[in-house]
Amino acid sequence: MNSKIRLGNAGVDVARQQQTAMQYEADQARVNAGQAQAAAQRTAMETRRQGALVQSRALALAAAGGGSTSDPGIVNLIAGNAGEIAYRSAVALYEGEDKARSLEAMAKGKEYSGAMAVRSAEDRKKAAMVGAFGDLVKGGASLFQSFGGGGVGSVDAGVGLDNWGGT
């Protein structure tokens, strides 16, 4: 009986250790999610910076070549570049946010798994305690049967209920 209770307690302790480890992994995933978003933001900023340099160079080359910066070809080129820059910047941000969402979902999954490990261990502990109580009752019944089993009236000690202390 005592060993069942000890095993139940040990199981809960192990599950709590697992929960602690899973919480650490969840916390780390959240840190990684923040870093993924920050890296995506830096990538988007760098994409916009590079795009501004390309546009500036295109205007400088157009002006140096004797053309006007208001020529339809130059305007279309710069507008196309601006659209591409905005697209690439938005894609970088989306990829970072998508990775962050994925890491956050993983963190929540780790926390849930840890909580369920503890809950399961606590349920097994309760079952072990019920089993131990059942063993105790079974042992008491066996002891009862060994020493007379049927109650006061069935013990033949020369004194029955019908002739107890009287005439």
75-129 per-position pLDDT tens digit: 888 899 999 999 999 999 999 999 999 999 999 999 999 999 999 888 888 887 8
* Residues above pLDDT 70, as percent of the chain: 80
Distant-in-sequence, close-in-space partners of 24: CB < 8 Å, separation ≥ 6: none
Tell me, what's the pLDDT at 9? 79
Taking the model in full, what pTM does it have?
0.65
CA-based radius of gyration for the chain: 39
* Domain positions in the chain: 2-142
Q: Which of 1-5, 22-26, 90-94 has the lowest mean pLDDT?
A: 1-5
User: Which tokens is 58 given?
Assistant: 């295109």
Cα atoms in the Cβ-side hemisphere of radius 13 Å centred on 36: 17
